[in-house]
């Protein structure tokens, strides 16, 4: 798996490093959010956590 952001070279091989805390995120199920992602990166892939702020995460959801 590779990050879908064009300039990012993160892939799942980097997960073998125990110090690496990066994660991969699939496209959101919410249609409006998914559409925003598609418009931003123009492909269907996953996006690594390197492209999010801690404040972007909502830990109080069941999705």
> Rg of the chain's alpha carbons, rounded to an integer?
12
Output the pLDDT for position 48.
80
pTM: 0.42
Tracing tokens 């999705």 back to the chain, one arrives at 63
Domain ranges of the chain: 12-56
Output the pLDDT for position 14.
61
Q: Which of 2-6, 9-13, 19-23, 42-46 has the lowest mean pLDDT?
A: 42-46
**Alpha carbon distance 35, 59 (integer Å):** 22
Q: Could you tell me the end-to-end alpha-carbon distance of the chain, in angstroms, rounded to an integer?
A: 22
CB neighbours of 48 closer than 8 A, spacing ≥ 6?
Answer: 3, 5, 8, 10, 22, 23, 24, 25
């Amino acid at each position: 798996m590779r990050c879908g952001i064009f300039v990012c070279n993160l892939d799942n091989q980097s997960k073998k490093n125990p110090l690496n805390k990066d994660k991969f995120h699939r496209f959101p199920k919410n249609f409006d959010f998914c559409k925003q992602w598609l418009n931003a990166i123009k492909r269907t892939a996953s996006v690594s956590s390197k492209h999010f702020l801690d404040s972007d995460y909502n830990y109080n959801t069941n999705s």
